[in-house]
Amino acid sequence: MAMFDRERTAGHAIAAPHLSHAREWELYTQLVLRVFRAARQHSEAPRILDLGAGGGSATIPFLDLGARVTAVDISESQLEPLRGRCGRFGSRLEVRQVEVTEILD
């Protein structure tokens, strides 16, 4: 848990290539849309499990498209901004602060 405290994770968004480079963000956005469209063939509101959700860079695009998302992260300091930014999605978002291994059991 100490590895994921606020001080250690504060610079993540700056260093994450898909967040800081326009071309990578464009490719990432296209991938999210492709995955969502494929999942939509099987369900009107696909369910997405976002492991290591952090601040929501994967969670929010899926919610914007209409998916139901379970966002999981070990770090409360990472999930805090996600909760603040996603209130409008209501029951389509479940946020869980647990280790990934607990979700996969």
For 91, the domain range is: 2-104
Domain count, the chain: 1
The strand order across the sheet containing 93-97 reads: 47-51, 68-73, 93-97
Per-residue pLDDT of 63-101, as tens digits, reads: 999 999 999 999 888 899 899 999 999 999 999 999 888
pLDDT digit string, tens, across residues 28-69? 889 999 999 999 999 999 999 999 998 888 899 999 999 999
- How far is Cα 14 from Cα 39, in angstroms, rounded to an integer? 30
pLDDT at 54: 86
Within 10 Å of residue 100's Cβ, how many Cβ atoms?
13
Cα gap 32→29, rounded to integer Å: 5
Give the type of residue at 31.
L
For all residues of the chain together, what is the average pLDDT?
84
In three-state secondary structure terms, 43 is coil
pLDDT at 5: 57
Decide if 55 contacts 40 (C-beta within 8 A): no
What is the model's pTM?
0.77
Structure token digits, residue 32: 């999210």
Distance CA 58, CA 42 (A): 20
**Residue corresponding to tokens 């300091």:** 77
pLDDT of residue 103: 82
CATH classification at residue 53: 3.40.50.150
